[in-house]
Amino acid sequence: MIFEKNIKYFGQEIFEKLKNFNIAVIGAGGTGTPVCQLLVSLGIHKITVYDYDKIDYSNLNRQFMYDENEVGLDKSEILVKKISKRHKNLIVTSEKTRIDEENFIKLQKYDFIFDCTDSFNTKFFLNDLCIKNHKILVHSGVNLHQGQAGIINFKTGGCLRCFIKKKPEEVENINVAHNVMLAATLQVEEFVNFLSQEYYGGLVFFKTKPNIFIKKIQYPDKCDFCGGYRSGN
């Protein structure tokens, strides 16, 4: 049985929850590829990958689901084709769509949305729309030796703007395989933690140079953005 160890690890109840989730992964790049692999490995059966980008040579240093002979092909299609082979119960689909305000409605049907995008612009866009539309967003960001991951939660409050009020200016992101893997792993770990009773909201920040330092920073009590949308308010 494929998931025998998962049931021992998570317990039957959490495993059943995971299996039945319907998940959207936005971005099939550095974090998106390992996130999809990790979600399939958790036993999740329904995943849709959103990406409109094509595979480029510069992706191959870290996006190791793609090969040199696939340069120029659609990322989401190739990723889905490869992870679909893991087991016969998977329903993995691809959407060559750029999510914007008008088509955000496409994401309403998912239980969780994973932000695996690579710009502040898209991250804050997803953050804001998920808070406003009452969707749980599983965030990560990574650049060079630093990153963060966590749950953006409209129910209890907790969003990117709790920490960073204004969307920062874009910078060139310089990423390699092991740093995006770390961000993806923390992103999925926080997602699993979120299902447990002991979970508390915040973002897990990491810094790997000169020494590894990882710390979860709890969301502040007050946020002018997500505070206003908190359940019950």
Q: Is 203 in the site for another protein (CB under 8 A)?
A: yes
Residue 213 amino acid letter: F
Nearer to another protein, 84 or 122 (CB): 122
| Alpha carbons 61 and 53: distance in angstroms, whole number | 17
CB-CB neighbours of 15 under 10 Å: 17
Binder to another protein among 43, 141, 150, 157 (CB under 8 A)? 141
Tell me the backbone φ, ψ of residue 41, rounded to 5 degrees: -70, -25
Residue 154 amino acid letter: F
Q: Is 29 in the site for another protein (CB under 8 A)?
A: yes
| Alpha carbons 89 and 97: distance in angstroms, whole number | 25
| Alpha carbons 105 and 147: distance in angstroms, whole number | 29
Q: Is 208 in the site for another protein (CB under 8 A)?
A: no
| Alpha carbons 173 and 62: distance in angstroms, whole number | 13
- CB contact set of 155 (below 8 Å; sequence gap of 6+): 134, 136, 230, 231
- CB contact set of 173 (below 8 Å; sequence gap of 6+): 118, 142, 143, 144
**Segment interacting with another protein (CB under 8 A) among 36-44, 53-61, 68-76, 211-219:** 211-219
Binder to another protein among 57, 164, 200, 231 (CB under 8 A)? 164
Q: Is 125 in the site for another protein (CB under 8 A)?
A: no
Q: Is 117 in the site for another protein (CB under 8 A)?
A: yes
Q: Is 163 in the site for another protein (CB under 8 A)?
A: yes
Shortest Å, Cβ 14 to another protein: 26
Shortest Å, Cβ 216 to another protein: 10
**Segment interacting with another protein (CB under 8 A) among 88-96, 103-111, 170-178, 188-196:** 170-178
Residues that bind another protein (CB under 8 A): 27, 29-32, 115-120, 123, 140-144, 146-148, 160, 163-164, 168, 170-171, 173-175, 180, 183, 203, 205, 207, 211, 213, 215, 217-218, 220
